[in-house]
Structure 1
């Protein structure tokens, strides 16, 4: 087994809640009296570009919530965006402790590998003070491709400077882990902080 040199972390579902998932959309948009069915009919097409950093948040919501076919709303984009950002919360504080322990060792390059629009990614990195933990950031909003597409993993490995077998990817979705493994990376499907600590140890990584 190759010694692990770089560890890639998903954010939503591991460290934080998701950024803008179906449940969050339902809570926020229902509170704003937005027609959910109409919104969802537009979401996927607009989100394809937003999550890949090919459109801005304002463009995304102009195509979904503030669409010309919708009646005018009593709220502004800025008011909506504040509620979108407010959906982000710490999910597992113990994962932050694991991350801090790995950083303190100074043995590994630590990076993110996440699907997120550029604006939400920036907000979450800053608000939850994630930047100091990581050496670099692989985000779909930066590299214009999303997990589980192979190209985002290739970008991650190439930027790390290590061979795939020297990298480890942590994600809560099996399909994303499977995609990483298919390219020669190691992967842990996250279920809980305790399980993550155990599985890291199986790779020779002590996080306690």
Structure 2
């Protein structure tokens, strides 16, 4: 679907992991967990792959996910110790957080999160990094029960934002998700580093 590159930007749709914050529970984090807790990384990885989509879709809670992936047998550590390790993997990208806050304040933008994440991790990240202070609404997979790249997740965001798609820019660190958003008529930015994304937004009329 063609996009109108001249239309003024009125809303930003954003991923969280890889854009505003580090990824919440990615391959690197799972490898670190296996090393710290003495787990078989291959076994945990296999169980994760068979389970995580269901967790991110809001159809399992974190305890159920952990029962299937880690605590299917007795462990020398507690669930709470493992959960805390998971939560501690989340770290902010301050420059990106400040950029989005400042652009919203200067240009009166609507800001929406469109992300794949399990409920407990998602809510921890929203609360800990005060994302609700500048994000207007969260279209998270755990809330709407389907995940990117399902096009419906962007359609729900558009319905709630009530902003025509030609006035929306979507930012994600995964190029395929950007391409799906562009196929729906949104403009997309595949985020790699702060300076590049800042300059691309500036070229779209969102300079600070």
Match of 2:3 in 1: none
Residue 41 of structure 1: which of 39, 46, 70 is its match?
A: 46
Superposition deviation, residue 29 in structure 1: 2.3
Mapped partners of 2:101, 2:71: distance in 1 = 41
Mapped partners of 1:48, 1:76: distance in 2 = 24
* 4+ residue segments displaced more than 3 Å: none
The answer to whether the aligner puts 1:181 opposite 2:186 as a matched pair is no
Match of 2:76 in 1: 74
- Structure 1 unpaired stretches of 5+: none
Superposition deviation, residue 106 in structure 1: 5.1
**Residue pair 2:107, 2:206 contacting (<8 A) in 1 also:** no
Superposition deviation, residue 89 in structure 1: 0.7
Structure with the greater relative contact order (CA < 8 A, sep ≥ 6): 1 or 2? 2
Q: What's the TM-score once normalised by structure 1's chain length?
A: 0.94
| Secondary structure of the corresponding residue to residue 3 of structure 1 | coil
- Structure 2 unpaired stretches of 5+: 1-5
Q: What's the TM-score once normalised by structure 2's chain length?
A: 0.94
Match of 1:59 in 2: 64
Match of 2:86 in 1: 84
1:28-87, CA deviations, whole angstroms, 9 ceiling, x for partnerless residues? 1221111211111211121111011111000000011011xx3x1011111110000011
